[in-house]
Chains A and B, each alone.
Chain A
């Protein structure tokens, strides 16, 4: 029995988990590490504002105890741009008016990238007709259902859907390869 499993890799940089096991991954990022890109909305798993990627999969970081993520690879919105160049999905959100206040945007973007991986792996959704498909096409219904864990109170959903659909069509809903390769955090 052991208390921890080593460091958490956050945007490629190993970080010791907090000593207090009560600290959520979200609070650890924001309050301890000063990474404010991941947002706190409802803090009870209902809104998706705190969505980030762990080992390539999207989770809500408000319900995640940071100590549980020792040894895992965490990618936040901060790691998505390539230097001064925005991630293609960030640019698409601007091009398609995918936000107004912007508070839900980092969560939306991380969630969409996680979603693309799920489609590749054949993860079914509530609206998937054929459960035997090993790879699922991103129809409009699939996109809306799969992004239903991310709320936008400004009502920018149509722009969000367009931005994600366009970036997915272009095959660019991916994380930069550097983020999980152990290089420095951006």
Chain B
């Protein structure tokens, strides 16, 4: 690991003053960053510890929730209002990592974790446009069973590894940022970028910008929501495909629906095509399947991951059916 300085930020303004310096990085639980530093993939010269900042979950006047970026994953999944009103979020959190890691990892850090693409991690043996822009991508022609089927580019086929973010995408969460130029908000679905020609730029964050909170809109019908993660083993593995969904059915008709996918793209993938196909239609398995297929029409498989298209379509269908009370 390369040498770096370590400081703890006492407040947001202090953090941002230190975080804007070249080479500085914010440190949350460290569960991804420390590992990447050990692999020399990340080489910050200064770490600004922000775990002492905003670690509350507050109820907003309109009924939404404001989640501090330093809230630990375990705390978020356990929070009474999250379990009751946004079960998809609790379920997504506990589908990820291990209990030990969830006790360390923060909400802000989870959003900014980097891909688990093996070629990205293999600093000595593989080419990667994320690590070394312009170097080339060994995953495109390599072992790419775990890789993206939606929104990828010739430069990068990596997936975003977060479960939490998939739920946040479905819930229309809004990310609160504090930077050298002041504060702003960005919808979670616009926080992460598709790779295009610049896969090394993964988010729309400006230098020194710090995630301070994530806001969940009130969304009363999200009480009927869940998360399903399909993976190679039953626990402690990254997603092949995951589905976060919320569904509001009235008299057999879909009144409102949210679907987001994990494990399929460079960012949490909000399935807006499927949602548009579902709203106002019947809450039946054929309708769910047709909507899933409509979403997957844009999928472009790689050598090893064509199975993800059918897997995603079936998982979307199964999750919506479950949320519709076992609809056929």
| A106–B51 CA distance with the chains assembled, in angstroms | 27
| A47–B50 CA distance with the chains assembled, in angstroms | 27
A132–B84 touching, CB < 8 Å? yes
Known contacts A57-B103, A63-B34, A65-B6: does B78 contact A124 (CB below 8 Å)?
A: yes
How distant is B85 from chain A, measured CB to nearest CB, in Å? 11
Interface size on A, residues (CB 8 A): 42
One of A24, A59, A115, A150 near B104 (C-beta < 8 A): A59
| A9–B248 CA distance with the chains assembled, in angstroms | 50
| A98 contacts chain B at the CB level, 8 A cutoff | no
B103–A59 touching, CB < 8 Å? yes
Q: Which of B53-61, B87-95, B126-134 contacts A (4 or more CB under 8 A)?
A: B87-95
Known contacts A21-B47, A68-B49: does B87 contact A131 (CB below 8 Å)?
A: yes
| A111 contacts chain B at the CB level, 8 A cutoff | yes
Q: Which of A83-91, A141-149, A155-163 contacts B (4 or more CB under 8 A)?
A: A141-149
Contacts of A63 in B (CB 8 A): 29-31, 34-35, 101, 104
Q: Which of B7-15, B171-179, B318-326 contacts A (4 or more CB under 8 A)?
A: B7-15
B9–A1 touching, CB < 8 Å? yes
How distant is A19 from chain B, measured CB to nearest CB, in Å? 10
B30–A65 touching, CB < 8 Å? yes
Contacts of B101 in A (CB 8 A): 45, 59-60, 63, 149
Residue of A nearest to B15 (CB): A1
| B74 contacts chain A at the CB level, 8 A cutoff | yes
A5–B83 touching, CB < 8 Å? no
Q: CB-defined interface of A61-79 with B at 8 Å, one 1/0 digit per residue?
A: 0011101100000000000
B83–A124 touching, CB < 8 Å? yes
| A126–B7 CA distance with the chains assembled, in angstroms | 35
| A22–B38 CA distance with the chains assembled, in angstroms | 9
How distant is B151 from chain A, measured CB to nearest CB, in Å? 27
Contacts of A176 in B (CB 8 A): none
Most buried by A among B38, B51, B94, B97: B94
Q: CB-defined interface of B93-129 with A at 8 Å, one 1/0 digit per residue?
A: 0110111110110000000000000000000000000
B3–A22 touching, CB < 8 Å? yes
Give the A-B contact count at a CB cut-off of 8 A.
Answer: 118
A123–B78 touching, CB < 8 Å? yes
| A183 contacts chain B at the CB level, 8 A cutoff | no
How distant is A26 from chain B, measured CB to nearest CB, in Å? 11
List which A124-156 residues lie within 8 A (CB) of chain B.
Answer: 124-126, 128, 131-132, 144-146, 148-150
Residue of A nearest to B75 (CB): A123
Q: CB-defined interface of B30-56 with A at 8 Å, one 1/0 digit per residue?
A: 110011001000000001010100000
Contacts of A178 in B (CB 8 A): none
Residue of B nearest to A147 (CB): B99
B78–A58 touching, CB < 8 Å? no
Contacts of B1 in A (CB 8 A): 22
State the B residues within 8 Å of A (CB): 1, 3-10, 14, 18, 27, 29-31, 34-35, 38, 47, 49, 51, 74, 77-78, 83-84, 87, 90-91, 94-95, 97-101, 103-104, 234-236
Question: Known contacts A1-B18, A44-B38; can you find 20 more A-B pairs with CB under 8 A?
Answer: A1-B10, A3-B7, A3-B8, A44-B35, A45-B98, A45-B100, A48-B100, A58-B103, A59-B103, A60-B101, A63-B34, A65-B27, A111-B99, A114-B100, A121-B78, A124-B91, A145-B235, A148-B98, A148-B236, A149-B101
9 contacts between A and B (CB under 8 A): A44-B38, A45-B100, A63-B101, A68-B49, A115-B99, A122-B78, A124-B77, A124-B83, A124-B91
